[in-house]
Amino acid sequence: MLSNLKKQKKKVYIINESLCLGGVEQVLVNIANNLDDSKFDVELILFSEENDLAISLNNNVKINYIDKLDNESKKGFFGKVIKNIKNMLYIRQQIKSIIKDKDAVILQMNARYLFINLPLLFIRNKKIGWFHGCIEQDNNRIDIVLNYILLSQFSVIFNVSQSGKYSFDKKLFFLRHKNKLLNNSFDIDNIKKMAQDPVKYHDYIVAVGRLDNKYKGFNVLIEAMSLLKKDGFNEKLFIVGEGNDRAFLEKQIIDLGLENNVFLVGFDCNPYKWMKHSKLFLFSSLSEGFPLVLGEALACECPIISTDCKYGPSEILDNGKFGILVPVNDSYALKESISQLLTDTALSDKYRLNALQRAFYFSNGRIIPELEREILSL
């Protein structure tokens, strides 16, 4: 009886480069953990054992690792071409040895990743791909043709934001019939539970993300904190996260005399406690796909100030209804909005009271069933 039930389950393989700490990887873990285990049997296929988030996976989710045949660098154009062809064929062989069920569905978490998509071209299983971020940068004909070849293999392509979907439809109009909107989602109950953990600090504001100035703009946020201090505020900002620009930001903090105002906390597997107990949540990104952390901050009932970057913040905050939107890369605008929410308690309380209502729109309860219906329809 049990074996018959297991056979009725739809086999799902989720493919990604790794489980390193990142937004795409968090989405992957959330999907793997929350697909209905009475309907789906989920396995992961990863290309790297960098697995910071593996500890967050449910025990019933199996991980398969794939390696490259040839990691040695080759000299010359033809040497590199031969190396890549060998690796592609070897990866294809490994994937086929794992996926034996012809009715299994493959979920490719980054549909633009050439290294994964090329071997997948030769796998006949139905596939769903995720598209994060911007396609507007692909302006030359080679990129357009390459995208068409690689993305045509997917039965469904999910864009995670409405603005990203619009950009995709405009640039790759010949694939728009496959393109659908599916927002990233999260487990509100789990976030609320984790958010109850205590922190030893109080009366502070917070930001969460990878220390990467090219995309996350924490250097701009620190400039805003300097301007805020010059206006007479003595606020403490905790930045929760780790990244390659830590040394740059540490020097910036010292140069601006903010050693007692801005603190780089480092990585914390529970950022929600920092959000829940904060006065404000600040988001300074220059570019995003669909910033899950904004939805998580809503679930923690935070008043939010966010840059209005492409893509996602204006959609998540409903064009400013559930938080303040400021121009990208503008430390003065950030400073003004922080000052506004610190002094206007009525406005801050309004955002806090309405936050959870908005968070439910991006909850697993709404999003995961949509994904399950798509998988079962293939």
55 pLDDT above the threshold of 90 = no
Q: Whats the size of the chain, residue-wise?
A: 378
3-state secondary structure at position 313: helix
Q: What is the pLDDT of residue 8?
A: 80
Residue of higher predicted confidence among 301 and 55: 301
pLDDT of residue 68: 67
221-235: average pLDDT:
97
Region 232-248: mean pLDDT is 96
Residue 287 backbone class (left: φ over 0; alpha: ψ -120 to 50; beta: rest): beta
Q: Confidence band (pLDDT; 50, 70, 90) for 268?
A: very high
Say what percent of the chain tops pLDDT 70: 94
Band of residue 311 on the pLDDT scale cut at 50, 70, 90 = confident
- Higher-scoring residue by pLDDT: 224, 76: 224
pLDDT tens-digit readout, 155-164: 999 999 998 8
Element (H, E) at 363: none
- The predicted structure's pLDDT at residue 63: 95
Q: Please report which helix (H) or strand (E) contains residue 306, including its range.
A: strand 304-307
Can you name the residues that pair with 46 across neighbouring β-strands?
16, 65
Residues 6+ apart with CB under 8 A from 246: 211, 264
Average pLDDT over residues 2-26: 81
Say which DSSP state 140 is in. Answer: S
Question: What number is the average pLDDT over the span 300-319?
Answer: 95
Q: What is the mean pLDDT of residues 244-267?
A: 97
Burial class of residue 133, CB neighbours in 10 A (0-12, 13-18, 19+): buried
pLDDT in tens, 269-302: 899 999 999 999 999 999 888 899 999 999 999 9
How big, in percent rounded to 5, are the helix, strand and coil portions of the chain? 45, 15, 40
pLDDT confidence bin for 333, thresholds 50/70/90:
very high
Nearest to 94 by CA among 125, 71, 123, 114: 123
Domains of the chain: 2-185+364-377 (3.40.50.2000), 188-362 (3.40.50.2000)
Please report, for residues 140, 324, 325, 357, the alpha-carbon distance to residue 128 in angstroms, rounded to integers and kept in the order given. 25, 34, 33, 30
pLDDT band at 22 (very low <50, low <70, confident <90, very high): confident
pLDDT value, residue 148: 84
At 122, is the pLDDT very low, low, confident or very high (cuts 50, 70, 90)?
confident
Measured between alpha carbons, how far is 14 from 247 in angstroms, rounded to an integer? Answer: 35
Distance CA(17)–CA(48), nearest Å, equals: 6
Euclidean distance between CA atoms 85 and 74, whole angstroms: 13
pLDDT digits (tens, 9 = 90+) for 321-332: 999 999 999 999
Residue 5 has pLDDT above 70, yes or no: no
- Per-residue confidence (pLDDT) for residue 133, from 0 to 100: 72
* Token pair belonging to 278: 């904060």
Give the DSSP per-residue string, 204-234: -EEEES---TTTT-HHHHHHHHHHHHHTT--
- pLDDT at position 199 is 96
Question: How high does pLDDT run on average in the chain?
Answer: 91
Q: Tell me the per-residue pLDDT of 58-96, one tens digit each, with 9 for 90 and over.
A: 999 999 998 866 666 666 677 777 877 888 888 889 999
Q: How many CA atoms lie within 13 Å of 267's alpha carbon, on the beta-carbon side?
A: 10
Residue 11's φ and ψ, nearest 5 degrees, are: -80, 130
Let me know: does 199 contact 273? Beta carbons within 8 Å: yes
